[in-house]
Structure 1
Amino acid sequence: MKRALAGLLLLGLVACAPRLQGVDPSRPPSPEQWDPQPAPIEWWYVSAYLPEQELAFHWAFFKYYAPEGYRVLGLPARAVFPYPFASEHLAVTDLRADRFDFQERHDFPELRAEVRANPLYLDLDGWRFQRTPEGFRLQAGSVDVTLTPTKPSVVHPPGWSGTAETGRMYYVSYTRAELRGTVLGREVRGTAWIDHQWGEQMSGVAALWDWYGVHLSNGDDLMLYRIRDVQGNLKVLHATRVDPLGRATRLDGVRMEPLAYWTSPVTGLRYAVAWRVEGEGWRLELEPLRLAQEIRPPGLPVAYWEGPVEGSGTWFGEDVRVWGMGEFVGGRYRR
């Protein structure tokens, strides 16, 4: 009888487990998919380097379910916890004061986060990101800004990033948005980058990455996303050019060569923080503006470097200046 009851309980829990959708490579997303999706993991990013104010920030909101295959007291974790959890990150760099500050919030176990669609609304203990008629508004810690896209949302070719081995993520962006508001109490105005990704990639567990989201002085934007397995083997390199009219084009034959490294005195991880990136018709060199930019989120299984970058080079026959943000993972993070 006890075994039968236990079996019925297990069947009931499994029936309550969420029906989540991974990435189908044959079905790219719509560039308008900014609302929450039924994915195992999902995040929204806002990143901005503001040269005139010597400030930069990176904000992220993560929505995730218990990983597939995990068990709690012998039971499927997704059946025991059939609801999503949320985490929120905010990293602010003050180049003028040579200061980097990172804050993190979680809603476990109270499940305090609000995640709503149509229009998009994300909130965790008063840190919120919401869609407005003009674009978006972000209010988190010392950051209170409006974001008005100046280019349409794009799907990064081929519509997703990653591999079957590392896991895949759908990927859409507003690569250029006018930013206005306050950061650290200073009036700011500049250019921001807004991302939305969702899928089944267990970042930091099955996949490591190096990423750039940068703006070019000729009006183009460039996204580079290099994915490695946990042994450090390169698996895929995606690159997207978004022209001044907002047209996204895949760049092929791309190469990334590290030029300088920084080793964290806390984790011992070694990060490639300066790069030469190039392809047919273009070549750029990008450098960090501050080295000690490591983020060690207690709620995630990965440490990473995030910070403002600048550079220059040639871009399809033009000399260009480059500015924006870089994000690099030095290796698997073991506490």
Structure 2
Amino acid sequence: MQRITQGRRTWKLVVLSGLLGLMLALSSCTFPGMVSTNAQLPAYVPVGEQKPLPPVQFPQDEGSHNNLTEWWYYTGHFNGQDGHRYGFEFVIFQVSRSDLPPLFASHFAISDITRGQFAYDQRNVMLPLDNSKQAGINVGIGDWRIQGRNGHDHLEASMKDYAIKLDLNGVKAPTLHDGKGLITYGLAGYSYYYSRTRMQVSGQLLDHGQPVQVSGQAWMDHQWGNFLTLGSGGWDWYSMQLSNGGDIMIYFIRDATGKVISTYAGYTDDKGQSIVIPQSAIQNEVLDHWLSPHTGINYPSGWRVSINDPRLKVNLTVMPQLKDQELVVTKSTGNVYWEGAVDIQGQQNGQTLSGQGYVELTGYTK
């Protein structure tokens, strides 16, 4: 889900700081992942539109749009040649409000599973919107960049102790959520949304100054549209890449009391064919909790996820690879969330399988 949000004179810096504060106040609730809303993600039906919104097109729609909210979101797993295990998150958000230049914000995180450590960094900057209409992705903040076309992407980011230069190649056609990649949040607006649910990863990680050749797989979300947050609450978002080649995305949207008010699940098989799973077929049980020593927030930590549908019967246990994968990113998108690498064990249609994935938890408080 949700899958919201860096030689001048002193007075210009003051004005810029004020504008950034305004942008963050307007937009931070939408980051990261899905908006908080009590809508049920029905298929998009234009209401009051003079003409229907156009369908998603590739590679034209991979790049920036002149919409209120947009993001490119990558999570994944890779190993060094010696078997050292890592997870990673890299996201760039683009937020446009009024006539101000867009605000770009970014988060970069490494889950160093073998070392048992978690590291992250954040950035933001106001930049003019790229109006070149060039097909493909080309967004960045300084040397943090995402570039790509037709599912062949390149990521670069760096922070203290870690840096990545990764090439990602989609092995399946993009999954258009809700069938056409266009969903509505009712009064909150509409959103285009597709995922590349399985991308091969290769490249280099700089780990504490040491170059490491890595390989693995990743998940990519791209979402954009004229949507805003309505109300408060949060969401739990799961991406799961299974050993039989199937991929599952589930999210549960919660209201301010913690009650789940909307559920969405999609399954993409090993051939790239996708289906939407009805809400009634999904069950989720929290197995444990983790109390953050940084913020005092109590997060769920471990889940049993079940899907009981005639087309797909799944029982999965999802466990964090590290307990502490919390990001306190109040300087860039104004929020705190947990997003972490997970291991998966279970059964699908009676067959034992395993897998890896990512879970995102937002809206949790002390």
TM-score relative to the length of structure 2: 0.74
* Residue in 2 that maps onto 1:227: 253
Q: Cα deviation per residue 1:116-160 (whole Å; 9 max; x = unaligned)?
A: 641321121111111147711111110101011111111122545
Matched, 1:315 2:332: no
* Residue in 1 that maps onto 2:195: 173
Matched, 1:266 2:287: no
In structure 2, how many angstroms separate the alpha carbons of the residues matched to 1:187 and 1:320?
A: 27
The answer as to whether partners of 1:167 and 1:206 remain within 8 angstroms in 2 is no
* Residue in 1 that maps onto 2:215: 189
* Residue in 2 that maps onto 1:19: none
The secondary structure found in structure 2 opposite 1:296 is strand
The answer as to whether partners of 1:86 and 1:113 remain within 8 angstroms in 2 is no
Q: Among 296, 303, 307, which residue is 1:275 paired with?
A: 303
In structure 2, how many angstroms separate the alpha carbons of the residues matched to 1:209 and 1:199?
A: 19
Structure 1 residue 31: Cα displacement: 6.4
> Pairwise mapping of residues 36-47 of structure 1 onto structure 2 (< 5 A)?
36-47=64-75
> Pairwise mapping of residues 194-233 of structure 1 onto structure 2 (< 5 A)?
194-202=220-228, 206-233=232-259
C-alpha change, 1:143 and 1:120, in structure 2 (3 Å) is same
* Residue in 2 that maps onto 1:102: 120
C-alpha change, 1:321 and 1:268, in structure 2 (3 Å) is same
In structure 2, how many angstroms separate the alpha carbons of the residues matched to 1:259 and 1:122?
A: 39
Structure 1 residue 169: Cα displacement: 3.6
Structure 1 residue 257: Cα displacement: 1.4
Matched, 1:57 2:110: no
Structure 1 residue 270: Cα displacement: 1.5
Q: Among 336, 345, 354, which residue is 1:303 paired with?
A: 336
Structure 1 residue 318: Cα displacement: 1.6
The answer as to whether partners of 2:136 and 2:148 remain within 8 angstroms in 1 is yes
Structure 1 residue 301: Cα displacement: 3.1
* Residue in 1 that maps onto 2:29: none
The answer as to whether partners of 2:62 and 2:135 remain within 8 angstroms in 1 is no
Which is further off, 294-303 or 151-160? 151-160
- RMSD over equivalenced CA pairs, Å: 2.7
In structure 2, how many angstroms separate the alpha carbons of the residues matched to 1:106 and 1:240?
A: 32
The secondary structure found in structure 1 opposite 2:301 is strand
TM-score relative to the length of structure 1: 0.80
2:332 maps to a residue whose letter is: G
* Residue in 1 that maps onto 2:105: 87
The unaligned stretches of length 5 or more in structure 1 are 1-21, 67-77
In structure 1, how many angstroms separate the alpha carbons of the residues matched to 2:131 and 2:166?
A: 20
The answer as to whether partners of 2:188 and 2:230 remain within 8 angstroms in 1 is no
Q: Cα deviation per residue 1:247-283 (whole Å; 9 max; x = unaligned)?
A: 1111122111111111212222121121111111211
C-alpha change, 1:147 and 1:115, in structure 2 (3 Å) is farther
* Residue in 2 that maps onto 1:326: 359
In structure 2, how many angstroms separate the alpha carbons of the residues matched to 1:65 and 1:134?
A: 25
Q: Among 244, 255, 273, which residue is 2:283 paired with?
A: 255
Structure 1 residue 328: Cα displacement: 1.1
The answer as to whether partners of 2:253 and 2:260 remain within 8 angstroms in 1 is yes
In structure 1, how many angstroms separate the alpha carbons of the residues matched to 2:316 and 2:128?
A: 44
User: Relative contact order (alpha carbons < 8 A, sep ≥ 6): 1 or 2 greater?
Assistant: 2
In structure 1, how many angstroms separate the alpha carbons of the residues matched to 2:131 and 2:301?
A: 34
Q: Cα deviation per residue 1:267-300 (whole Å; 9 max; x = unaligned)?
A: 2212112111111121111000101111011222
In structure 2, how many angstroms separate the alpha carbons of the residues matched to 1:28 and 1:172?
A: 14
The unaligned stretches of length 5 or more in structure 2 are 1-34, 36-40, 46-52
The answer as to whether partners of 2:242 and 2:353 remain within 8 angstroms in 1 is yes
The secondary structure found in structure 2 opposite 1:157 is coil
* Residue in 1 that maps onto 2:174: 153
Structure 1 residue 234: Cα displacement: 1.3
1:248 maps to a residue whose letter is: S
In structure 2, how many angstroms separate the alpha carbons of the residues matched to 1:311 and 1:85?
A: 36
